[in-house]
Amino acid sequence: MESMTFGLTTDDVRCLAFQLAERNGIANQFNKEKQKAGKDWLYHFRKRHPELSLRQPEATSAARARSFNQVNVNKFFDLLEPLIDQSSNQTTSTT
């Protein structure tokens, strides 16, 4: 997911771990008040899965913030729409 700009923060992972444990009825000692796994759980999880990387949150640059406007967003979706249509047509033609 990180390569698609969906990187997770350590807090994201801790919250997801809590949610998964709760939904699946897995016994745990996670913090029910904060609804997240502990930092020690995260430490050991990362030790078991060194191939996973977590992102550090960073502030949005001024240039990026300025370019996020109605004109640029419209351009993005104008470019995206034909790609979605093309993908949709390919999917329906193969079924």
Q: Which residue has the tokens 């997801």?
A: 16
Give the predicted TM-score (pTM) of the model: 0.54
CA–CA dist 40, 45 (Å, integer): 9
CA–CA dist 45, 53 (Å, integer): 11
pLDDT at residue 48, as a whole number: 95
With vertex at residue 15, the alpha carbon angle to CA 44 and CA 28, rounded to the nearest 5 degrees, is 60
Q: Three-state DSSP class for 11? A: helix
pLDDT, tens digit (0-9, with 9 covering 90-100), for 68-80: 889 989 999 999 9
pLDDT, tens digit (0-9, with 9 covering 90-100), for 14-68: 999 999 999 999 999 999 999 999 999 999 999 999 888 877 666 777 887 788 8
